[in-house]
Amino acid sequence: MDLNYTPEEEAFRRQVRNWLDENIPTSGLRGFDRNADRDKSTLEKMKIWQRRVHQAGYLALSWPKEYGGQAMDPVRQSIVNEEMVRTRAPALIGAMGISMVGPTLITWGNDEQKARYLPKILTAEEIWCQGYSEPGSGSDLASLRTRAEIVGDEFVVNGQKVWTSNAHFADMMFCLVRTDPDAPKHRGISYILIDMKSPGITVKPLVQMTGDRGFNEVFFDNVRVPRRNLVGKLNEGWMVANATLFHERNMLGSTTTTQMLFNRLKTLAAATMRGGRPLTEDPVFRQRLADLEIRVEATKYHMLRQLTDSIRGRNPGLGAWVNKLVGTELNHDLATAAMEAMGDYAMLARDDGHAMDRGFWPYEWMFTLGLVIGGGTSHIQKNIIAERGLKLPKSR
């Protein structure tokens, strides 16, 4: 065990910090902006921001160089993540590409697919969305019914996806389709990449409880997709899908958001007067705050442990199964504590003139609950930990 960074890593950290200090946009984008609506101008600003991070060499540090990465070890990536938290850098619009489909293509894609898609993920020229869930298939994802038939060297896709985040502005979708309806449900699924501008695709935005258009219904009516857009083998998409889910759950369980939320909660509590003293001096709230801080720190070291395992080339074991469950629930608990801290002001909508902290928390409180559901609910995470991790018998 050695938590010291090498002099080179320390120098790298200073360099990242300086760069962020000088380059974080001062207007337009708010740090840690969760607004999912993404009007055209915000979207454009966010793409520019990502592009600049990429040009500076601070994006996808562990990806191979030929695809726009830096071929560095994961420690550098974690340094960048930490500095982004510290400086409250704006979110990356291409996160689903960078953290989900990108790593999946690196493992499962062929050379042509890697060369075609990976660089544009980083430059934000192509924004991705995830077409997994359907009206009849959420937790039971493998029951999905969107059909893809092979006609010549194309897939012809018919069906519907739902809850598709970002589909209203995405350029590409990684999508699960049924290619063999007669096979057992896990063995007839394929993983394909669909151009969102293809004829036959209709995107209908759905309004989330936050009031934003964060996710969508996506309809497919004889949509033609070239066969070369198949990732992995035909009918073996379930394995590929799970690779993406694994990356997604790590992204959702990422501790950078968690630390950012805790810092903001602490600032809020210190600035909030209750009974003539700051809330941080209220013995009950102090206990709660400390308990949250302890959980935040525990997840931080838990992730460092997994980072070390990955550098050492070791299987992280049971630990990796809990990231999504622990991280998303902790984020929601942090936001819930902030709502309590705000007292009656928690009743105000985020755009009311009297809203505290510019309406950040009521939104965050809802958004974080959405992530307890998205990517596989907490119930499903617990099933997975018990059945795959602890080998308890399946109920079915």
Partner 1 sequence: MDFGLSEEQEQLRESARHFLAGECPARKMREIALDAAGLSPELERKMAQLGWPGLIVPERFGGAGLGMLDMAVLLEECGYAAMPGPFLFSSAIAAYALAAGGGDEINTRWLRPLASGDATGAVAIVEANDGLAPSDFAATARTAPAGAVINGMKMFVPYAQSASFFIVAARTGAGARDVGLFVVPANAAGVKIRPLKALDLTRRLALVEFDGVLAPPEAQLRGGADLYERVLSAGAIAIAADSIGGAQRVLDMAVEYAKVREQFGKPIGSFQAIKHAAAEIVADLEPARALVWYAAYAFDALPRDAARAAAMAKARACDVYSRAAGKAVLMHGGIGFTWEHDIHFWFKRARLNESLFGAPPYHRERVAALGGY
Residues designated catalytic = 248
| Residue 376 in the binding site for ligand FAD (CB under 6 A) | yes
Residue nearest ligand FAD, CB atom distance? 138
Q: How far apart (Å, rounded) are the C-alpha atoms in residues 93 and 118?
A: 15
In the bound state with ligand FAD, the residue whose beta carbon lies nearer, of 312 and 394, is 394
In the bound state with ligand FAD, the residue whose beta carbon lies nearer, of 7 and 184, is 184
In the bound state with ligand FAD, the residue whose beta carbon lies nearer, of 314 and 379, is 379
In the bound state with ligand FAD, the residue whose beta carbon lies nearer, of 160 and 179, is 160
Helix (H, G, I), strand (E, B) or coil at 255: helix
Give me the least distance between CB of 71 and partner 1, in Å please.
18
Q: How far apart (Å, rounded) are the C-alpha atoms in residues 9 and 79?
A: 8
Helix axes 323-341, 283-312, angle to 10 degrees: 160
Residues 344-373: x where in contact with ligand FAD by CB under 6 A, - otherwise, as a string:
--------------------------x--x
Give me the least distance between CB of 52 and ligand FAD, in Å please.
26
| Residue 139 in the binding site for ligand FAD (CB under 6 A) | yes
Q: How far apart (Å, rounded) are the C-alpha atoms in residues 90 and 67?
A: 24
Distances (CA, A) of 375 to 66, 138, 194, 197, 249: 30, 10, 20, 25, 7
CA 134 from chain centre, in angstroms, equals 19
The enclosing H or E element of 310 equals helix 283-312
In 3D space, the residue among 167, 174, 196 whose CA is nearest the CA of residue 102 turns out to be 174
Look-up of token digits 């060499």? 57
| Residue 191 in the binding site for ligand FAD (CB under 6 A) | no
CA 146 from chain centre, in angstroms, equals 24
| Residue 244 in the binding site for ligand FAD (CB under 6 A) | no
| Residue 138 in the binding site for ligand FAD (CB under 6 A) | yes
In angstroms and rounded to an integer, the radius of gyration of the C-alpha atoms of the chain is 22
Give me the least distance between CB of 142 and partner 1, in Å please.
19
| Range 209-228, binding ligand FAD (CB under 6 A) | 215
Options 132-140, 189-197, 223-231, 354-362: segment touching ligand FAD (CB under 6 A): 132-140
In the bound state with ligand FAD, the residue whose beta carbon lies nearer, of 208 and 280, is 208
